[in-house]
Structure 1
Amino acid sequence: MSQQRRDVTPDDKTERGPQDRSRINLSEKYEVRYWTQKLGVSKAELEKAVAKAGVSATAVARQLGKTL
């Protein structure tokens, strides 16, 4: 049986997590869902942390007192 390679485009909405896990994109529901679950925070807490720390996942985690 041959294996088929699946090409994934950078904005493939069928993927469950963000394409670039170093940045947080609040405009995509699936990314907000991923990051709120990953960091264990509410959407409002995530939005507030992104407003203070920027879109860097590491900086947001640090702002929230979490580790990635």
Structure 2
Amino acid sequence: MDSKQNVGSPDRDRINVNEDYELQYWSEKFNVSRNRLKEAVQAVGTSVKDVQEYLNK
């Protein structure tokens, strides 16, 4: 479970699109829009590895 106090480093294995700071972090990291990130998570789940593979297709 993500700690609300530790907003500087999101969980490195999972993406929680319901947390605004994670949505911002991961969309910037993958250089995609927030909606594209949400679409990827909906398609393959919250695993960072799976989302990255999906976005690289």
Larger Rg: 1
Query: Is residue 17 of structure 1 aligned with residue 9 of structure 2?
Result: yes
Between Structure 1 and Structure 2, the one with more helix by share is 2
Among 39, 42, 46, the alignment partner of 2:37 is 46
Determine the C-alpha separation between the residues in 2 that align with 1:41 and 1:13: 26
Identity of aligned residues (%): 39
The answer to whether the Cα contact below 8 Å between 1:25 and 1:31 also exists between their aligned partners in 2 is yes
CA displacement at 1:17 relative to structure 2: 2.7
- After superposing on structure 2, the runs of 4+ consecutive aligned residues of structure 1 that deviate more than 6 Å are none
The aligned length equals 56
Q: TM-score, normalization: structure 1?
A: 0.73
SS in 1 for 2:53: helix
**CA RMSD, Structure 1 to Structure 2 (Å):** 1.6
The answer to whether the Cα contact below 8 Å between 1:16 and 1:34 also exists between their aligned partners in 2 is no
SS in 2 for 1:21: coil
Unmatched tracts of structure 2, length 5 or more: none
Say which structure, 1 or 2, has more relative contact order (CA 8 Å, 6+ apart): 2
